[in-house]
Structure 1
């Protein structure tokens, strides 16, 4: 489980394909604190640490993960939002995040708002995911509050701290992002569909 509060921005230092898998090596300030088998969220995707070498560590993404997330589009030197799993008993500063990306979305607008930024994203509504006004959403692993919710799109307001300490500062129109919708909303949606 994660909170959606980004700890560090890692930089992709190596990508190695092996059959349908992709081994992703990340350079990060938290690398020396990690352990083999530990879970780390990468742009919101929970992956297991398989190797550590000084200030770099490696995780492996399988085909299903590459098909459903933006990790398959990574290039060397790309920035990745990182969060280690939460500790039992810690404050839940964001919201409950599983690290299981539901689908990708596309950035359709970036608007500066006199000291903050409004980012708008579009997603495939046929997958039955939804947002609600003032509800929680995870974008590239970052816990955010939805504004301007629509059937297939939503916006989020980004404060300067979040802009500087996540990879939001690299987003532009057309950027593909990972979305994890609120887990409670997913259960309610499923129950509603079953009762029809």
Structure 2
């Protein structure tokens, strides 16, 4: 579990493959200390440190992760957002982020100039109903507040801290990003769906009983 507050970044220094598995080696800034087996968020993707070297670490991505996220598009020297997983004693500064990417989004437009900027991000329309204005969303692992959502696009504002400490300030129209829907919205949708199905089943059984009379 993560918070979406990015305090560290790293760059890709090697990319290799083991059959269908992508292996990335990342060199983080010096304050990002991890050990083999740790869970880390890399551009919003929950990843396991498979190997640790003095100034870098390696992670691996299976085919399913490659399909659902942007990891197969990473290139050498790419600048990535990094976050270590939460401890139970840690302060949650942002919102709860699982690192399980729901969908890939496309930067539809970029407005404004530093020290602030606005992004419009396009996602499949079936996801828009999960994105509430003034709610929570994670884009490439960065916890943000949607301003507006509709017609397959949601907008987010990037404050000076976000522009300085994440890679979102480098995004341009057409870039692909990892999007994670707020976990509460997903659970609510699941519960509402179950409730609707239960009511439908109950009504169906009632009608069947009435038909037998």
Shorter-chain TM-score category? Answer: over 0.9
Partner in structure 2 of residue 5 of structure 1:
5
How far did 1:189 drift?
A: 1.4
Partner in structure 1 of residue 36 of structure 2:
36
More displaced stretch, 87-96 vs 127-136: 127-136
How far did 1:153 drift?
A: 1.4
CA contact under 8 A between 1:107 and 1:121: conserved in structure 2?
yes
- Residue by residue over 1:39-66, the C-alpha shift from the partner in whole angstroms, topping out at 9 and shown as x without a partner, is 0000110110011111110000110001
Residues 22-171 of structure 1: matches in 2 within 5 Å?
22-30=22-30, 33-112=33-112, 115-126=115-126, 130-171=130-171
SS at match of 1:17: strand
SS at match of 1:161: helix
Quote the Cα distance in structure 2 between the aligned partners of 1:93 and 1:147. Answer: 20
CA contact under 8 A between 2:8 and 2:32: conserved in structure 1?
no
Quote the Cα distance in structure 1 between the aligned partners of 2:50 and 2:103. Answer: 25
CA contact under 8 A between 1:31 and 1:55: conserved in structure 2?
no
Quote the Cα distance in structure 1 between the aligned partners of 2:29 and 2:85. Answer: 16
CA contact under 8 A between 1:32 and 1:54: conserved in structure 2?
no
Q: Please state which structure has a larger fraction of its residues in helix.
A: 2
**Cα RMSD (Å) of the superposition?**
1.6
More displaced stretch, 31-40 vs 121-130: 121-130
Q: How many residues align?
A: 196
TM-score (norm 1): 0.94
Quote the Cα distance in structure 2 between the aligned partners of 1:40 and 1:25. Answer: 13
Larger radius of gyration: 2
CA contact under 8 A between 1:104 and 1:123: conserved in structure 2?
yes
How far did 1:127 drift?
A: 5.4
Q: Which runs of 5+ in 2 are unaligned?
A: 198-213
Quote the Cα distance in structure 1 between the aligned partners of 2:98 and 2:67. Answer: 18
More displaced stretch, 94-103 vs 143-152: 143-152
Question: Alpha carbons of 1:193 and 1:113: their partners in 2 closer, same or farther (altered >3 Å)?
Answer: farther
SS at match of 1:76: coil
How far did 1:114 drift?
A: 6.9
